[in-house]
């Protein structure tokens, strides 16, 4: 069988779909050399789109094409791969007789490349079209809806946290000095109530849920307190816990026994979750201005935006350095949030700068192994990434500056090319929470005053 020569494919990007469309065309003279066959000619688009949603979330990509004009084509085979030069996995088990095929069994956060080969009545196949990997996509979420507010108001919202069953969530409203309770069990999530903080001009910001008990921890920046909400009764404990001046962030240990609050007093307050007793106040050093935190391998990693470093605190109760800073890791300017890969092999530090960046730190060597630039070539708006979250092999990064979401593959630690910008659904995305199955992203927008839902 002689080779068929493919002309250069024409490629365009449809920003409304966020998907690359490839238009391969074969010159009319291209053919399979056979004694009694009509030359095959291929024309018009072969397109690729990722499915919006399927039952039980089975990620899939629908590949479609225009039928060959050759009279003896018996069907088509659809191929895919995770490298542009290795599109060799056959998606179909039998010849496809139509002009589209749903490729299933795919994963989020991976770039897939596709091609189609025509097969004649004698089983001879054409070369793959396109053959250069230009037909590609990444399974990614899209905006689905807003959380309904009813008679309530998201007024400068900031933090968000979900209960362990994922049916209920809380959002802090800085301007209204309250928590807004959200019912996520309904098809159209809505604000179902308001819980006011007590005291003089409270300003609730960061939130964290205890994974082992029905407790939500609420940072009050104005009163330098940590409120504890019983999520079973939606009632606060009688006495808020005093923490450092201008507290910034709160995090809970994996076993739910300890609560850590960092503050602009350049310290971290350690709290016994059961007794609500302050166990220690750990100094970080001058001008640390800590914010983001993550716990990995008995170490608390704390980002210091002003110091351009990540501090490491020993959490091993048997260590002589227990509750002490045991070192720091230099990172770039504007260090903000910190997130850990699910297996703890890496932590990620967002840098709230115009171009935006994410530092990737190996938690074995405790060194920066790579820095991922957020802004793409040709983009003009500022990025200023803020909150992050990890689910599976995907790190989601909220870009406050241009209201977009960046996806990073945490296995290769590379930024995913989605074809076009993934919009967050509102202005000023600040923080996010993920549904238990990872199918929904609940994104708090401080500028727009809304919670938007992106869904697979």
pLDDT digits over 423-451, tens only? 999 999 999 999 999 999 999 999 999 99
The pTM (predicted TM-score) of the whole model is 0.86
DSSP 277-328: -EEEEEE--TT-----EEEETTEEEEEETTTTEEEEEE--TTSTTTTSEEEE
| The pLDDT of residue 36 | 32
Residue ranges of the chain that CATH labels 2.130.10.10: 142-455
Residue ranges of the chain that CATH labels 2.60.40.10: 10-138
pLDDT digits over 393-413, tens only? 999 999 999 999 999 999 999
| The pLDDT of residue 83 | 93
| The pLDDT of residue 70 | 84
Of 8-17, 20-29, 160-169, 406-415, least confident by mean pLDDT is 8-17
Q: How far apart are CA 305 and CA 291, in angstroms?
A: 7
Q: Which residues pair with 441 in a beta bridge?
A: 434, 454
pLDDT digits over 195-226, tens only? 999 999 999 999 999 999 999 999 999 999 99
> The domain 142-455 belongs to what CATH superfamily?
YVTN repeat-like/Quinoprotein amine dehydrogenase (2.130.10.10)
Look at the domain 10-138 and name its fold. Answer: Immunoglobulin-like (2.60.40)
Q: How far apart are CA 344 and CA 222, in angstroms?
A: 33
Of 2-16, 118-132, 272-286, least confident by mean pLDDT is 2-16
């Amino acid at each position: 069988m002689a080779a068929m020569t493919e002309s250069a494919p024409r490629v365009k990007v449809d920003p409304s779909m966020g998907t690359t469309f490839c238009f391969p065309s074969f010159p009319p003279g291209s053919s399979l050399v056979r004694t009694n066959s009509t030359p095959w000619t291929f024309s018009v688009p072969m397109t690729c789109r990722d499915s919006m949603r399927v039952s039980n979330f089975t990620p899939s990509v629908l590949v479609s094409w225009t039928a060959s004009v050759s009279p003896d084509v018996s069907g088509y085979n659809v191929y895919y791969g995770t490298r542009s030069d290795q599109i060799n996995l056959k998606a179909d088990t039998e010849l496809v007789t139509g002009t589209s095929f749903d490729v299933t069994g795919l994963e989020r956060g991976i770039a897939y490349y596709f091609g189609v080969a025509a097969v004649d009545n004698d089983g001879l196949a054409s070369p793959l079209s396109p053959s250069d990997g230009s037909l590609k996509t990444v399974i990614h979420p899209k905006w689905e809806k807003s959380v309904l507010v009813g008679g309530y108001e998201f007024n400068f919202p900031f933090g968000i946290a979900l209960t362990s069953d994922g049916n209920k969530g809380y959002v802090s409203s800085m301007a209204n000095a309250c928590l807004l309770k959200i019912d996520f069990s309904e098809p159209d999530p809505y604000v179902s109530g308001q819980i006011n903080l007590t005291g003089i001009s409270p300003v609730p910001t960061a939130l964290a849920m205890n994974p082992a008990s029905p407790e939500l921890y609420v940072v009050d920046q104005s009163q330098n307190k940590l409120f504890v909400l019983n999520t079973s009764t939606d009632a606060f404990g009688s006495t808020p816990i005093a923490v450092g001046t201008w507290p910034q962030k709160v995090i809970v240990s994996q076993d739910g026994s300890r609560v850590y609050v960092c503050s602009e007093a350049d310290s971290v307050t350690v709290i016994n979750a059961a007794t609500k007793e302050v166990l220690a106040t750990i100094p970080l050093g001058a001008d640390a201005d800590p914010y983001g935190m993550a716990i990995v391998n008995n170490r608390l990693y704390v980002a210091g935006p002003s110091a351009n470093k990540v501090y490491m605190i020993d959490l091993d109760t048997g260590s002589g350095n227990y509750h002490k800073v045991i070192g720091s890791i230099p990172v770039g300017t504007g260090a903000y949030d910190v997130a850990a890969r699910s297996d703890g092999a890496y932590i990620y530090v967002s840098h709230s700068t115009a171009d935006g960046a994410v530092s990737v730190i190996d938690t074995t060597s405790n060194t920066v192994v790579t820095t991922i630039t957020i802004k793409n070539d040709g983009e003009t708006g500022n990025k200023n990434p803020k909150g992050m979250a990890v689910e599976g092999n995907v790190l989601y990064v909220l870009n406050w500056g241009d209201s977009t979401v960046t996806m990073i593959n945490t296995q290769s630690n590379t930024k995913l090319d989605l074809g076009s910008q993934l919009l967050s659904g509102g202005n000023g995305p600040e923080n996010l929470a993920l549904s238990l199955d990872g199918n929904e992203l609940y994104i708090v927008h401080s500028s727009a005053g809304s919670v938007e839902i992106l869904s697979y």
